[in-house]
Amino acid sequence: QSVLTQPPSVSAAPGQRVTISCTGSSSNIGAGYDVHWYQQLPGTAPKLLIYSNKYRPSGVPDRFSGSKSDISASLDIVGLQAEDEADYYCQSYDVGLTESVVFGGGTKLIVL
C-alpha cells in the first residue's frame, strides 16, 4: 500500500491526451512538499520527467506537464506517442509517523 495513490494503468490512442493522478494526504502533498514525476521505459532506470510540481528538465518535450492542488498532483501528456508507453511514478516527501521519501505505486501507460 503506497502512501501516494496512482491508478494502476491508463490507456489512450496516439495523438490523444492522458492524465495520471497522484493522491496523497495532509502529511505529504498537502503539507506543501513538492511532487516529482519519473518515467520508466521497459528494462531501464527511471528518468526525471517533471520536478517541483510543474517544471520540465532540459530535453523533456513540452507534451508533458505537471500540476499540483491540495493533496493531489497530476501528470498530463498530450499528443500521445507510441514511445510514451512506460511506467510513471510520482514522488514526494512524507512527515507522518516517520519522515521519508515516498513514491506512488506507479501507473502503466498503454498507448493503444
Partner 1 sequence: EVKLVESGGGLVKPGGSLRLSCAASSFMFSSFRMNWVRQAPGKGLQWVATISSGSENMYYADSVKGRFTISRDNPEKSLSLQMTGLTAEDTGVYYCVRAVGTIGSEFDVWGQGILVTVSS
The least distance separating partner 1 from the CB of residue 105, rounded to whole angstroms, comes to 5
C-beta atoms surrounding 98 within 10 Å: 6
CA distances from 86 to 32, 41, 50, 70 (A): 28, 5, 15, 27
Q: Least distance in Å: CB of 7 to partner 1?
A: 13
Q: Closest CB to partner 1 among 33 and 72?
A: 33
Residues in contact with partner 1 by CB under 8 A are 2, 33-34, 36, 38, 45-48, 51-52, 57, 87, 89, 91-93, 98-106
Q: Which is nearer to partner 1, 76 or 87 (CB)?
A: 87
For partner 1, the closer of residues 15 and 57 by Cβ is 57
